[in-house]
Amino acid sequence: MTRTLRLLIVDDNARVRRTIREVVSGLSPAVEECSDGDEVLARFEAFAPDFVLMDLRMARVDGIAAAAALHAAHPDARIIAVSDHDQDDVRRAAREAGMEAFVAKSDLLQLRRILTASTGRTGP
């Protein structure tokens, strides 16, 4: 029996978190949320997600800083940037912080494709 895919959504906008949850529905019944980067490390350690789906621009701690701190504490953490800010320098900073992929919020179906390809799963 395979373990349930666990996802942590990190975004300061509740509507966006809901939308991401809808996009990944069917892939994982185990989804938790954070509303800012300052919550990520504690939630990651308590929940142990397979993937963190991280916004880049948040009020208290941005996704780049949160990803770097998470990756330093947990080098195997799998973090995917999910952002409206799709510039080359932003993508580069996300990669350098330990994020393995970048998904534009305008194409959230790409997120589903990445998760499916990364896990070989099609559902829970």
Q: Is residue 24 part of a domain?
A: yes
What are the φ/ψ torsions at residue 31 (nearest 5 degrees)?
Answer: -130, 130
Length in residues, the chain: 124
Name the residue range of residue 33's domain: 6-118
pLDDT of residue 32: 96
Return the closest-CA partner of residue 7 out of 94, 107, 73, 79. 79
Question: Lowest-pLDDT range, 26-35, 38-47, 63-72, 114-123?
Answer: 114-123
Q: Does a structural domain hold residue 124?
A: no
Here the CATH number for the domain that contains residue 103 is: 3.40.50.2300
How many CB atoms sit inside 10 A of residue 22's CB? 10
58-115 pLDDT per residue, tens: 999 999 999 999 999 999 999 999 998 878 898 999 999 999 999 999 999 999 999 9
Model pLDDT, residue 22: 94
Q: How many domains does the chain have?
A: 1
Q: pLDDT-based confidence at 120, cuts 50/70/90? A: low
Query: Contact, 28 vs 51, CB < 8 A?
Result: no
Q: What is the pTM of this model?
A: 0.91
Q: Give the pLDDT band of residue 121 (cuts 50, 70, 90).
A: low
pLDDT confidence of residue 14: 96
Three-state SS for 9? strand
123, part of any domain? no
Alpha-carbon distance of 122 to 106, in angstroms, equals 22
Q: Tell me whether residue 99 is in a domain.
A: yes
